[in-house]
Structure 1
Amino acid sequence: MRGRHIRKPGLEMLLRRTPGMVWQLLALFALSGGLTLYSTALARLTHTPPSLWLTNGALIGWMIRKPLAQTWPLLVAGFFGYMVAKELWGDPLLTTAAWGLNNAVETLIVTLAIRRQFPVITSETPFPRLARVALISAAVACALSSLTAILIKQPFPDMAFWMSFNLVFRAHLLGMVIAGSASIVVAIKNDGVQLFRGKRSSLLWHLLLLTALSAAVFLVRRYPLLFLIYPPLLLLIFRHRFAGMILGIAIVALITTGAAALDIGPFDLVHNVTPVLKVAMAQIFIAGYCVVALPVALTLVEQDRLQIRLRESELRYRMLADNSGDLVMRIRPNGDRRYVSPSVKELLGWDVEEFMAPRPDLIHPDDRERVAEVVAALRRIGGSTTATYRLQHRAGHYLWIEAFARMVDSPDGDGTTEIIYTGRDVTQRVHIQQALIESQAQLKTITDNVPAVIARVDMSERYTYINRHVQQISGESPADILGKTVKEVRGAALYEHLKEYLDRAYAGESVWFEYEATYLGKLLHFQTHYVPDMDSKGRVRGLYALTTEITHIKNVERELLRLAHQDALTGLANRRSFNDQALPVLRNACQNRSPVLLTLLDVDNFKAINDTHGHAAGDLVLAEVGRCLQEFVLKGAVVARIGGDEFVVLCDHLQDKVAAEAFVHSLWETLHMAVMMGRHCIDVHLSMGAVFFHGSASQDVLMKLADEALYHAKESGRNTYRMVSKRLFVGEKNGNV
């Protein structure tokens, strides 16, 4: 008696502690087993892979409601339900276990993806984003699990591998979309019964209509009338939101898979249709309805949620408006006011009842036309606008009001629009601004017509004045800059460059400097003069900045420098630049007693090219020669066009005569080319004269020796080269190496 008395309370206590979990595990076991039996039965009936695998998706709703550490019992319950169902069909134990673990991994991947993005899921969770995360993770998980399942065991050896993969993948993905979305919605609502509260009789009639029409469509074999299912399905969604979508898609999926398994319906209209093809068509058909139904349901539910939040927001807005110091109004397009905040009494001296009717007479006469134009534009275009104008106080004086107005849809839901108006007293600020404008009027008239940017910066590095010329430079108007700091206007990178000169000016020094900056997509050069602004006691209270754009001057300087040292046609150095570059090369070679190679090149029959094809062809030939010679510039040689069709190459990296001859030969071969001029092909040949020299000699001597070698090359019939070697050091005789 005592033993039985002890054991019985223990069992009761266990059931009392975890009744919810026990029932959940039993429900998941039955659900997983039942759905597995259903899908397997259809597959065995059609001798194809399952056309719709609902088991994994049905677990998602339970999984996302619990912390991840507590989900393993749910996975175990679903796994055993699957194993028992497969055992009833007599499937091999090891293969079934492997597939069951694969299904558990698929479910876990989707659960982890959803829980990572949405740690807590409530009815306030944005459904479109949740659906996007769920669909993407489901597609990835289903692809991985389908591939793994087929690798474990190919269910249909006669079927191509990728065909089997496509069928299994579609079955899992469709099942995840249908069962997963249903279970997630039930989980979010926390009580599946809540989905079906309200118009239950209407829901029942609509479900019967969809069922009857779907069955009728599949019973008609001679005509493809599947599109007729769309209207009742969409009606279900529009009237019953997620409840209609879940039940409607479930009915369509069950009828479709059943019809495909029983060889019923218009799928037989396809010529030589096979069971596998029927399964594929059924999957595609169900997928099409999911693609239509799910976005519509998500949109409608999100719209309902936003409308609820809008109503709540309006209540909060009314509470804030009633207690705000600003004047808040809701105004109809015709001017009638739906709401006036109590602050109108404190701000303008009027009672709320007195201000409910339109009062354009209270606007200052000088501002009425401008305000009317602003209001008309707001009503015509919509959006929002800001205006500053004068309103008459009940005592008779005028206050400056800064008003912000926005055209919105009426929260009453009657299809009309209204203006939300917020106004605040800015009289003191306007008076200060007017005084400042008057004090700067004379200076502004002068500086706005100076072709330079003139600005004043206070000790906090904020612009207190800047003339109109800044808009031509940067595209910003003075109003956009006033009140901002130098760092905000000029950017952090340029500010770091200017900071040194700002500090020197604040220290009392007059500073001149130049810098570069990019404005309106152009790199510009500026010259700036910072002058300290001092009071009568000599204390710095800011600085004046005079900035002049000198881009055109810099461009002219660069162009003059380029023209002085670069050949305009070929881009190579000209004679002057060559002379400047050759001098240190020859000096270094003399000091190190190392050799140099100087080569002269001349285009053969260049005058004939000009006479036959025109000077444009000649220029094209010279440009092409220059392009080929650029390769040797990259190798460290000094290359220049020294006049007409003459070029020179000087290099000091060749250590012996053999290397020099190889270099000259390579140069000669490189410059054999064919230049296309329209439809004509111009064969270009060059004669070359080179001198390989050891010792100390002037550039003129080397040029003379190379010119003599070039003369011998031309005498030899052109299109060839000649090279001589010379050696001359102090104390040695001139002679061939």
Structure 2
Amino acid sequence: MLARRDPHGLWPLFAAFALSGGLSFYALALARANHSPVALWLANGVLIGWLVQKPLAQTWPVLVAAFLGFLVAKLSLGDSIAQTMLIGPFHTLETVIVSESIRRRFPQITQDTRFIDLARTGMIGALIGSVLCALGLMCILHLWTQVGVLMALNTQFRAHFVGMVIAGSASLVLTHHLRRVLSGKAWALVRDLGVLVAVTAGVCMEPRVPLVFLVYLPLLWVVYRHRFTGMVFGMVIIALGVSLATTLDVGPFNLVVGATPAFRIVMGQVFIGVTCFVALPVALVLSEQDRMRKQMQESELRYRMLADHSGDLVMRIRPNGDRMYVSPSVKELLGWEVEDFQKPRPDLIHPDDRERIAAEVVKLRMEGGTTNATYRLRHKDGHYLWIEAFARLVPSPDDDGTMDIIYTGRDVTERVLIEHALMESQGQLRTVTDNIPAVIARIDMNERYTYVNRYVEQVSGEIPVEIIGKTVREIRGNALYERLKPYLYRAYDGESVMFEYAAEYRGRPLHFQCHYVPDRDTRGKVRGVYALTTEITHIKNAERELLRLAHQDMLTGLANRRYFSERVPNFLMQAQQGNAIILLALVDIDNFKAINDTYGHAVGDVVLTEVGQCLQKLVREGEIVARLGGDEFVVLCNDITSLKQAKAFVQSLWERLHITIDAGVAQVTVNMSVGAAICRNELSDDALMKLADDALYKAKEAGRDTYRFLTHGLGNGGGDDGGNHGSPEIKLRQAR
């Protein structure tokens, strides 16, 4: 079934079976032929290259195939199946620990993988796996063959650890770098490994002189020429040669007198381990250098490709100012050839920018790091371009201990011109806003001022810089803020709001008209509020003055007919609601025409003024005194409780209006005629005036200098002197 579904998947299984079984048979048979411990256990490490490529759930068939190979090897040597079934899982555990530690740390092993990190991870995994495997084998061998605990642990750990390092490394190289091994330098690798094989065979077969150190020269040569690949294959050759020589009792390790096979195995393992740890750092360092050099070359290639084809000007500048590299974009950017820019060209910098740029270069040379500058460079045609330059001080790639400047510049002329135009426009706008007779401000969503024009100084004496960043509450105070807050929140909700308010600044009560306009972004979302505040104190004063003029008699200072006409309906309504008595008295100066004709209009005006002041003194607060025109005045009261009180008030008013006025040119005696209307319940203002006018007519008909009453709606309960209901009562009294 497996062959039908994946015929190519059988080859790894056959390979795992053959390698595991063959290497297990080789190690066990060699050790038993010499009655010595196993010198090098390679069977577990040869599977690492396959196992690190996929998760354990997909590679378990390879482990099963390897276990079957190990089982066949053990059984062919006459070992019991029970012992083999107990030992096999520990070999598998060692392989799984090493492969999973590498695969989890490096899911994919590529040419860019750091060999130092890979070797570190593999060594730690090999150490842990070899210790656990050796512990398990120690227990089984001690119980099964009565081998000493420490001896079993020592021999098994050394054989497995050294074998895992060598075989695991070789497996990784073959599975991940086979194409690289077989390409280009394959024959050189075979040739150099052939020399190493010859030297290893020679020193291992020499029984008289210990020359094993001679393998270091060809091994290091192979490592230097072929890096990590050469180290792995070289260690395999040396490990196989040394383990074979020590097991067969040949070579320099037999020169030790009285050495047992186990001791010779130990010496061989120590030599293999020392050789591995001598070659491994060299191989890793060289491989890492190759990787970094390759990355640097690729980086330089990419950078040069980007620099050569970039629209920006890129240069590498030496301490003396020479440009070791100038990108071809200088032609398109400034019109100069690359050769024109190889030498320092400070003359191309605008005269106004030279000192500043020179200072920036000196600062960069002294302090290092990076710097930015925007300045003007002259085009070959003669005009100047604005260049935004970025410069960094870096160690020179020439390895002479100096520091070069990497310079990148781009044309930002259009942007700078736009910025200058924008700054000019902003300056003009600020000049306009600062001189507009209104406070212009912007408030963000946190109720903080982000802009205030200078006119605020004339209004409140506050400095704009001190306002920026503070909240409306902090600037306007709690009381005023509470009045402004509802309008501010309406503007935050997107409504344009206009309102008026009063505040006191510098001890002066001021009136303002404020317009809140929402500030919206491009998506229409409110991001703040613009506030336009205009002082309208003079307008309010003018309005009050106009209102005063509209409602006041210019000569006497009393209310005029218009004001009186506007107030009468309210008086009547209040009286009706309270069922109160209302009194309206018309006052007319007797023979006023004669006063004008005799003394002149100036004296007449004095008389009118004095009479108006006298009337104003006679009434209480809330009562109305008005000049209707000419010599006619009116008094309106709604705080009357009875008819008796109303009559007493009219009598007192008439008596006190008998005055003598000093007009300068003459003493003028003034007499008055008064007609009063006293009523209760509903009565229109016209009817009330008509009633008072009729009473005044009766007073004049009676000979002037007297007063008369007419009542309405009082009945018998209207007061002490009530008349007949429905018929006006006429009270006559002669003037004294």
Q: Distance in 2 between matches of 1:129 and 1:49?
A: 33
Deviation at 1:299, TM superposition (A): 2.8
Q: How does 1:61-100 map to 2 (within 5 A)?
A: 61-100=49-88
Which residue matches 2:215? 229
Deviation at 1:75, TM superposition (A): 0.6
Deviation at 1:15, TM superposition (A): 5.0
Deviation at 1:419, TM superposition (A): 4.7
Q: Distance in 2 between matches of 1:94 and 1:304?
A: 50
Q: How does 1:81-160 map to 2 (within 5 A)?
A: 81-154=69-142, 160=148
CA contact (8 A) 2:39 2:247 kept: no
Q: Distance in 2 between matches of 1:312 and 1:259?
A: 47
What is the SS of the residue equivalent to 1:43? helix
Spell out, residue by residue over 1:54-102, the C-alpha distance to the aligned partner (whole angstroms, 9 max, x if none).
Answer: 0111011111223432211101111111111111111111111211111
Pick closer, same or farther for the CA change 1:388–1:173 going to 2, 3 Å.
Answer: same
CA contact (8 A) 2:386 2:416 kept: no
Deviation at 1:538, TM superposition (A): 14
Matched, 1:21 2:9: yes
Match of 2:269 among 272, 283, 286: 283
Which residue matches 1:402? 389
Deviation at 1:161, TM superposition (A): 1.7
Deviation at 1:291, TM superposition (A): 1.5
Deviation at 1:254, TM superposition (A): 0.9
Which residue matches 2:297? 311
- My pick for the range that moved more, 195-204 or 251-260, is 195-204
Matched, 1:302 2:320: no
Q: Distance in 2 between matches of 1:154 and 1:78?
A: 25
Q: Distance in 1 between matches of 2:151 and 2:295?
A: 48
Match of 1:244 among 230, 243, 261: 230
Q: How does 1:62-461 map to 2 (within 5 A)?
A: 62-154=50-142, 160-189=148-177, 192-221=178-207, 223-270=209-256, 272-322=258-308, 324-331=310-317, 335-337=321-323, 339-341=325-327, 343-344=329-330, 348=334, 350=336, 352=338, 354-363=340-349, 384-386=369-371, 388=373, 390-394=375-379, 395-397=382-384, 399=386, 401-407=388-394, 410=397, 419-424=405-410
CA contact (8 A) 1:402 1:425 kept: no
Q: Distance in 2 between matches of 1:87 and 1:132?
A: 36
- My pick for the range that moved more, 200-209 or 347-356, is 347-356
Q: Distance in 2 between matches of 1:285 and 1:90?
A: 31
Q: Distance in 1 between matches of 2:363 and 2:207?
A: 61
What amino acid does structure 2 have at the position aligned with 1:386? T
Deviation at 1:218, TM superposition (A): 3.2
Deviation at 1:400, TM superposition (A): 6.0
Which residue matches 1:692? none
Q: Distance in 2 between matches of 1:99 and 1:117?
A: 28
Pick closer, same or farther for the CA change 1:374–1:254 going to 2, 3 Å.
Answer: farther
Spell out, residue by residue over 1:457-496, the C-alpha distance to the aligned partner (whole angstroms, 9 max, x if none).
Answer: x99999x9xxxxxxxxxxxxxxxxxxxxx9xxxxxxxxxx
Pick closer, same or farther for the CA change 1:387–1:270 going to 2, 3 Å.
Answer: farther
What is the SS of the residue equivalent to 1:154? helix
Pick closer, same or farther for the CA change 1:459–1:149 going to 2, 3 Å.
Answer: same
CA contact (8 A) 1:49 1:155 kept: no
Aligned-CA RMSD value: 4.6
Deviation at 1:369, TM superposition (A): 7.5
Matched, 1:48 2:36: yes
Q: Distance in 1 between matches of 2:39 and 2:404?
A: 54
Spell out, residue by residue over 1:642-676, the C-alpha distance to the aligned partner (whole angstroms, 9 max, x if none).
Answer: xxxxxxxxxxxxxxxxxxxxxxxxxxxxxxxxxxx
What is the SS of the residue equivalent to 1:153? helix
What is the SS of the residue equivalent to 2:297? helix
Deviation at 1:136, TM superposition (A): 1.1
Pick closer, same or farther for the CA change 1:295–1:402 going to 2, 3 Å.
Answer: same
Deviation at 1:368, TM superposition (A): 6.0
Spell out, residue by residue over 1:399-438, the C-alpha distance to the aligned partner (whole angstroms, 9 max, x if none).
Answer: 4643313435659x99999653223467888999xx9xxx
Pick closer, same or farther for the CA change 1:353–1:248 going to 2, 3 Å.
Answer: same
CA contact (8 A) 1:405 1:419 kept: yes
Q: Distance in 1 between matches of 2:475 and 2:211?
A: 85
Which residue matches 1:573? none
What is the SS of the residue equivalent to 1:100? helix
What is the SS of the residue equivalent to 2:390? strand
Pick closer, same or farther for the CA change 1:213–1:371 going to 2, 3 Å.
Answer: farther
Pick closer, same or farther for the CA change 1:291–1:327 going to 2, 3 Å.
Answer: same
Q: Distance in 1 between matches of 2:135 and 2:115?
A: 30
CA contact (8 A) 1:364 1:398 kept: no
Q: Distance in 2 between matches of 1:377 and 1:284?
A: 59
Which residue matches 1:522? none
Q: Distance in 1 between matches of 2:244 and 2:447?
A: 78
What amino acid does structure 2 have at the position aligned with 1:86? K
What is the SS of the residue equivalent to 1:71? helix
Q: Distance in 1 between matches of 2:24 and 2:4?
A: 31
CA contact (8 A) 1:349 1:393 kept: no
Q: Distance in 1 between matches of 2:70 and 2:403?
A: 57
CA contact (8 A) 2:142 2:148 kept: no
Identity level (%): 50
Pick closer, same or farther for the CA change 1:317–1:193 going to 2, 3 Å.
Answer: closer
Q: Distance in 2 between matches of 1:354 and 1:460?
A: 56
Q: Distance in 2 between matches of 1:461 and 1:421?
A: 45
Pick closer, same or farther for the CA change 1:52–1:502 going to 2, 3 Å.
Answer: farther
CA contact (8 A) 2:377 2:386 kept: yes
Structure 1 unaligned residues grouped into runs of 5+: 1-10, 440-457, 465-485, 487-500, 510-536, 542-737
What amino acid does structure 2 have at the position aligned with 1:124? D
What amino acid does structure 2 have at the position aligned with 1:183? S
Pick closer, same or farther for the CA change 1:23–1:461 going to 2, 3 Å.
Answer: farther
Spell out, residue by residue over 1:155-201, the C-alpha distance to the aligned partner (whole angstroms, 9 max, x if none).
Answer: 89676422321221121111111111111122223xx3541322344
What is the SS of the residue equivalent to 2:389? strand
Pick closer, same or farther for the CA change 1:357–1:267 going to 2, 3 Å.
Answer: same
What amino acid does structure 2 have at the position aligned with 1:248? G
CA contact (8 A) 2:46 2:168 kept: yes
Pick closer, same or farther for the CA change 1:367–1:40 going to 2, 3 Å.
Answer: farther
Q: Distance in 2 between matches of 1:325 and 1:227?
A: 60
Deviation at 1:236, TM superposition (A): 0.3
Aligned length: 448
Which residue matches 1:31? 19
Give the TM-score taking structure 2 as reference length.
0.52
Pick closer, same or farther for the CA change 1:80–1:408 going to 2, 3 Å.
Answer: same
Q: Distance in 1 between matches of 2:202 and 2:475?
A: 89
